[in-house]
Amino acid sequence: MVVDDSVVIRGLISRWIAAEPDMEVAASLRTGLDAVNQLERFNPDVAVLDIEMPDLDGISALPQLLAKKRDLVIIMASTLTRRNAEISLKALSLGASDYIPKPESTREPTAAETFRHDLIQKIRHLGAKARRGAGHPTASPPLAPSHERPRTPAPGVAPAPAAAAQIARRPFGLLPPKVLLIGSSTGGPQALMALVAEIGPVIDRFPVLITQHMPPTFTTILAEHLARTSKRPAHEAVDGETVKPGRIYLAPGGRHMRIVRHGIDAAIALDDGPPINFCKPAVDPMFTSAIDVWQGSVMSVILTGMGSDGMRGGKDVVAAGGSVIAQDEATSVVWGMPGAAANAGICAAVLPLNQIAPKLVRVFSGDRT
């Protein structure tokens, strides 16, 4: 279900969806009020919901839609403004599954193609999980699925992974960790908030560096939220600044964040190179670059997200003597990134989100089991 007051955007998104063999447009609607009133009639799996609309805006329609259908996947769509970034992050806390920034102009081919690629991937992966009956990890149990005709299996969507018990684990690194690196994507903001609220003892003694797949402006807002939630200093990383314990450094949207040696200190190096794993910022360069500074004393965490970003960098971390922890499938919005790491056999632990923080506190206090 596409909900946007712009007839151009509605038409564009609807054509993209209709062109996919595993998707169909259930409805194309102008306002949030139309969406709420016609939800039962169309019974969509996924709603792409604009923020700014007449009659009833997206943030107001969101809770009403979820009240009617608890397992509805809602992707918030908005232009890149500070206000909309704030609203999008608020929407995640109210039950939206994800967000996507709309390009300022769909006439610019690269921007439009990036928007199309990201939107279709989000619809496909989030919708596939909902249709498998997984629902939202933190939501109430989903309603019984509606009786619909079978659809073509989604291209690019892997079958459900092997049970966690079958995933090979490796021992934690022998060296005590000196830095915590966290990578995340879809579902990441909510997971990050939950995590940083519980790892105060780690932040106080060690630097924490985070790469979340996010555009500019959104990362500015996320850093402010991380600071409030953790009650510790958190900010977008600045090129050349020294990395210090007691602080959270967030990769700014549109720049890769690497760590380099600067004398006896570690320093931030921001990179404006091409996307890696279709992402900018990407997790892999942060993970790999940390090895040159801390060698095997690196602890990496891979949280919920689409794709496999972080897996290759995680392999490098493990090869250098460091450790990787991945979020488990049940608590991940999308088990792409953590699943890729887990199935690659590089993880020392694959844990539910609420068990990662206690484990990190123990590991950074000397536990190696």
Q: Annotated active-site positions, please? A: 185, 213, 309
Q: Which tokens is 213 given? A: 């797949």
Q: What are phi and psi of 100, to 5 degrees?
A: -150, 130
Does the N-terminal peptide bond of residue 189 adopt cis geometry, omega within 30 degrees of 0? no
Instruction: Give the pairing of strands 28-29 and 256-262.
Output: unpaired
- Which residue do the tokens 């690269």 mark? 110
Amino acid at 153: P
Q: Provide the CB-side half-sphere exposure for 27 (13 A, CA).
A: 22
Q: How far apart are the first and last CA of the chain?
A: 48
* CA 105 to chain CA centroid, nearest Å: 25
Give which of 315, 309, 237, 220 is closest to 271, Cα–Cα: 237
Q: Tell me whether residue 289 is exposed, middle or buried, using C-beta atoms within 10 angstroms of its C-beta: 0 to 12, 13 to 18, 19 or more.
A: buried
| Residue whose pair of structure tokens reads 């910022």 in the numeric block | 281
Nearest to 24 by CA among 148, 157, 160: 148
Helices (H) and strands (E) in the chain, counts: 12, 14
Peptide bond between residue 281 and the one before it cis (omega within 30 degrees of 0): yes
- Rounded Cα distance between 252 and 237, Å, is 6
